[in-house]
Structure 1
Amino acid sequence: MGINPFGNSEILRPVNPWFIAFSLMAALLFKFIPVDRNWVTPDLLALVLVFWNIRQPRRIGIGVAWCFGAAVDVHSASVFGEHALAYTLLSYFAITIHRRVMWFSPMMQAAHIFPLLLAAQAITVIIRVMFGGTFPGAWIFAESVLTAALWPLTQFLLLAPQKLPENRDNDRPI
C-alpha cells in the first residue's frame, strides 16, 4: 500500500459546490454577528476560505476571497479594501502551499496556516492604523491563535459530507 498524501486511508467523494457555497455563506453570516470589540472571536470566514483554498484551489480562488473581503468591509464600515486585501493575500498564500499542507496531520496543518492567518490579521491592523485608527494592542492577535486552533474541527466538519459510507456495497468498485 502506497503513502497517502492526505494523511488517511479514506477515499472522499467529490465536494458538492452547493456545500462550498453554504459553508462560505454561513461563515460570512457568523462574521456579521455583532460582538464587543474586547472579545476575541475566531475569523471563521478566513478559516473556511483557507480550507477551501487548500482543498479546492480551482473552485475557490482569489476572486472569491476578494468578494467576501469586500462584503466584510462594507458591513463593518471599515476602510474599503482592508479585509479584501487581507483575504486575497490569505487565499493566494493558501493556494501556494496547498500541496505541501495536505501531507501533514490536522495539527501540523494548523501550524502551517497560523502564519497565514496572523499575516492577514496584521494587514488589517496595519491598514486601520495607517488610516487614523489606534493600535488595539497585541492581544488582538489572539484571534489568529484561536482561529488556527479551530482548524482540526473545521476540517472534520467540512470533510464530513465527502466521506464514503462505512457499509460497503459489493457492486461498487470503490
Structure 2
Amino acid sequence: MIMRPGQQLLLPANPVFIWGSLLLAMVTNMVPLGRTPWMPDLLALVLVFWSVHQPLRVGIVAAFMFGLAMDVHETGLLGQHALAYTALSYFAITIHRRLLWFSVPSQALQVLPLFFAAHAIQLAVRMMAGGTFPGMSVLLAPVIESLLWPLISILLLAPQRRAPDPDENRPL
C-alpha cells in the first residue's frame, strides 16, 4: 500500500492486543451505569477502528458475535446489536482503504454517518418491536463516538508506533 507523505510506518498489530481491546470495550459497555440514550457505544467504536485498521482479523463475524453478546447482556431484542454491529463492520470494511488516506480528524467526520446508521438501525428495530422513542438525546451518541475517534486512534495505535531512531543502516 502506498503511504501518505509524512505517515509513520507502523509495526504489525498484535492479535492479543486487538482482541483484548475489543473485550475491554465490551466489558466497559457492560458496566451498569444506567443506559442513557446519549451514552456512546465504546464497543461499536473499537469495532469500527479495528475493522478499518485490521479488516482481515476483525470482520463481520466478530461484529456479529459481539453484537449477540451485547444483546444477551442487555436482555433486549436478540439481534438488535448484532444487526447494527454487522452493518457497521461491513461499511467500515467497505471504506477502510479510502478512510486511511484522511487525517484522523477527517476520519472522525467520515465515520460519523456510520455511527448514525448503527444507532438508527438499533432504534428502528426497537421501535418496530413496540419500544418507546428515547428522545432527541439519542442523536448525541454518534456525535460523541465520532469525537472519541481521535482519542481511540491514539490509544490503539500507540503499541504499533516505531521508535524514531533512523541511522545509515536503517533509514525507516
Structure-2-length-normalised TM-score: 0.93
Separation in 2 of the partners of 1:43 and 1:122?
13
Matched, 1:157 2:127: no
> Cα gap change, 1:59/1:38 in structure 2, threshold over 3 Å: closer, same or farther?
closer
Any unmatched runs of 5+ in structure 1?
none
Separation in 1 of the partners of 2:67 and 2:80?
8
State the partner residue of 2:40.
Answer: 42
Structure 1 letter corresponding to 2:3: N
SS of 1:22's partner is helix
**Out of 78, 90, 105, which is 2:76 matched to?**
78
Matched, 1:32 2:30: yes
Q: CA deviation at 1:37?
A: 3.4
> Cα gap change, 1:112/1:27 in structure 2, threshold over 3 Å: closer, same or farther?
same
Separation in 1 of the partners of 2:169 and 2:71?
51
Runs of 4+ off more than 4 Å? 169-173
State the partner residue of 1:125.
Answer: 123
Q: CA deviation at 1:169?
A: 6.0
Question: What percentage of residue pairs aligned between the two structures are identical?
Answer: 50
Deviations 1:129-168 (A, max 9, x none): 1111101012112011000100011001100000001334
Q: CA deviation at 1:114?
A: 0.5
Within-5 A mapping of 1:94-173? 94-168=92-166, 172=170
SS of 1:97's partner is helix
Matched, 1:4 2:12: no
State the partner residue of 2:51.
Answer: 53
> Cα gap change, 1:17/1:169 in structure 2, threshold over 3 Å: closer, same or farther?
farther
Deviations 1:79-137 (A, max 9, x none): 00000000000000000000110111111101110000010001111111111110101
Q: Is the 8 A contact 2:108 2:150 kept in 1?
A: yes
Separation in 1 of the partners of 2:54 and 2:31?
27
Structure 1 letter corresponding to 2:31: I
Give RMSD over aligned pairs: 1.6
